[in-house]
Amino acid sequence: MDHTKLINDYITEGADVRKAIDQKTIIDAVNIICKALRNGNKLIAFGNGGSAADAQHIVGEFIGIHVNTRENEDTRNPRKPIAAIALTSNTSNITAIANDYGYDEIFARQLEGIGKRGDVALAISTSGNSKNVIAAVKKAKDLGIYVIGLTGPKGQLKDISDTAIIINTGKTSIMQEGHLTVCHLISIIVERELFG
């Protein structure tokens, strides 16, 4: 069976979707994140499934170093880590909160514990309607935390975020690839802005 057409069509569609991302929303997000970091605040990222992986991925880039800049980095004197945390990586927190308060509260409860006014929340949801993500966004607003929503064309996340970066496709896999592209771009540009 020949899968060449499927492969070509998928690659082309994904490239077209990524080219259509509104670049201004990425720059807006970078500016907000940089301002927060310069003021001693942090990035707090969260999502479910593949979006959880994206949350952890961007935090890894912030705490570590972006792979595209590593070749220019003096590994004996690397840049300082950038303040960021993923609410998806502490299984003890997640399971305790899910057990005691319900799964819809796993991010909001953590955010209430560690978030502070001036922080930035990166809420990631392909559907835009994940109940635990929406609950955390509402909690962030109560706490004075700026919300960047990384989502698709549907769902309420795009409407309740302070800045929404929308990947305009109905295909979850292509949307997730767009989300990862945005995460890489944000981490590259934030790193340049903060460290030159």
Identify the DSSP state of 64. Answer: S
* Predicted local distance difference test score (pLDDT) of residue 1: 86
* Predicted local distance difference test score (pLDDT) of residue 79: 83
Residues of the chain with pLDDT under 70: 66-77
- Check if the beta carbon of residue 119 is closer than 8 Å to that of residue 88: no
Q: For the chain, what are the domain ranges?
A: 4-195
pTM of the model: 0.93
* Predicted local distance difference test score (pLDDT) of residue 78: 73
- Check if the beta carbon of residue 145 is closer than 8 Å to that of residue 44: yes
Which amino acid belongs to residue 101?
Y
* Predicted local distance difference test score (pLDDT) of residue 172: 96
Tokens 């796993």 belong to residue: 106
CA distance 38 to 194: 8
Q: What is the DSSP string of 80-123?
A: PPP-EEETTS-HHHHHHHHHHH-GGGHHHHHHHHH--TT-EEEE
Task: Please give the CATH number for the structural domain made up of 4-195.
Answer: 3.40.50.10490
CA distance 124 to 106: 14
